[in-house]
Amino acid sequence: MFRISFVLCSLAALSGCQTVQETGSSSPYAETTLSETDVGLDESALYDPLAIVGELGEAEDSPRLQPGHSDSSPAVLSETELTSFDRSIWGEISRQFALPQIRDSKYAELHRKRLTHADGFFSEFLAKSEVYLPYVWQEVQRRGLPAEIALLPYVESAYSPWAVSPMGAVGMWQIMPGTARVLDLDLGQTCDQRRDIVHSTRAALDYLQQMHAKFDDWLLAIAAYNAGPGRIDRAIRENKRAGKPTDFWSLRLPRETRRYVPRLLVTRDLILDAKSNNIALPNISSDIGFKTVSLEAPMEVSLVQELSGLPLADIRKYNPCIRSWITPAQTPYQLVLPASHVQSFATKLVSVSVRDYVRTRPYKVQTGDTLSEIAARTGASVTELMMLNGMQNARIVAGRTIRVPSTSENITRQLARMELGNAYGETMRYRVRAGDSLWKIAQRFRTTVTAIRKLNSTSNLIRPGEYLTVPVN
């Protein structure tokens, strides 16, 4: 029997270092991201049965500034002098920008044109982070990192927890499967923590700090996040042998990495110069708009809907790692909800028995049935069916009655549709030209034919003049 409790959590990152094999980079995202580290997450949360909700980010104080981070904050303004920009999250972030200016870079100018090619585009681009940026910004501040680091997920994924690169990097920080396992991120069927805002942010920031400790230069640390530290080391050695400078701008690096750092700096500069560029920055509060409730057992998502009063899309937005009809099997699971809905959810949850977190119905196994076939029909996974029935393996016997979820199929189907819509991060409408093919379009936008076909439910046959939804990487 599980007991019900709520969590007041204090998150503190613990880091260690272990060398692992560096992988190559060819993806538009940072597929080599997080390749040489071994860090753990402090799971020692304070469990208090009287506490209603969990507050994210209440960690012990950290130094405000790390070596190499120059304090560029202006003099404190009076209340009457503060503008709406100063009071916004953009004002907070911009006062702590610390990275150097862009040197002559063709990639910087190209990215600037891309972000400002249409009125309102950059504002919409920034607005996608509304739910996640305040938490990331809090963690960046707590660790004393340059404020630009909070903008890095814009470069990686347009701040989309569901972004997937052609090479398999996932989440707003774009972490590869092998790296995720080194970082102790769970890739289970019911939860991929590369999508989880807290776990993925912890891993990414730990790694960036380690890269800064290694190179003592934030631009090189950010470049290492993209290309891997081994590639940066080799470039530095080459320049030293040739008697050349070893700063980022002087190194011979892969084209993607030479693009990567200027992209971040351009994003920063456009925020700083929003007024002169006629950019209306989206109104995003610096307050974290969500809290957590601790679930002592997996709960079907349809019950979360009933207790919270939230639509499925919102539950998924606040819990982007959920991939199935049931919350993750890791217990206690920290269910994230809008702050405005937590109290009501917690009050209703008390009246629900843990054994009723998942509603099931009996199913009599037929001759020829396999557990995988039953799973496919019900929208559950084999692992989930085994969990529901206390099975040690997937063998079933005709005539035996097992329990299957009552509500899984519809939820799973809806999540799959949402998955398709969010998997490729930022997209744009593209009008097919004469002579175009899906392969040519994929090459032009640095994506895959498969991604374009999935987004448009199309075959390889396309016609000039028709519009396609295309991932923009």
Which residues are part of the catalytic machinery?
156
Measured between alpha carbons, how far is 461 from 458 in angstroms, rounded to an integer?
Answer: 7
How many secondary structure helices (H) and strands (E) does the chain include? 19, 10
- Closest by CA position to 140, among listed 89, 81, 80: 89
Beta-bridged to residue 293, according to DSSP, are 335
| 405 close to 388: Cβ distance less than 8 angstroms | yes
Measured between alpha carbons, how far is 274 from 279 in angstroms, rounded to an integer?
Answer: 5
DSSP 394: S
Say which residues have a Cβ less than 8 Å from residue 322's Cβ, sequence separation at least 6: 190, 191, 301, 315, 316, 328, 415
| 51 close to 293: Cβ distance less than 8 angstroms | no
Type and span of the H or E element at 468: strand 467-471
For CA atoms 410, 411, 416, 421, give the dihedral sign: positive
Angle of helix 229-241 versus helix 218-227 axis, rounded to 10: 120
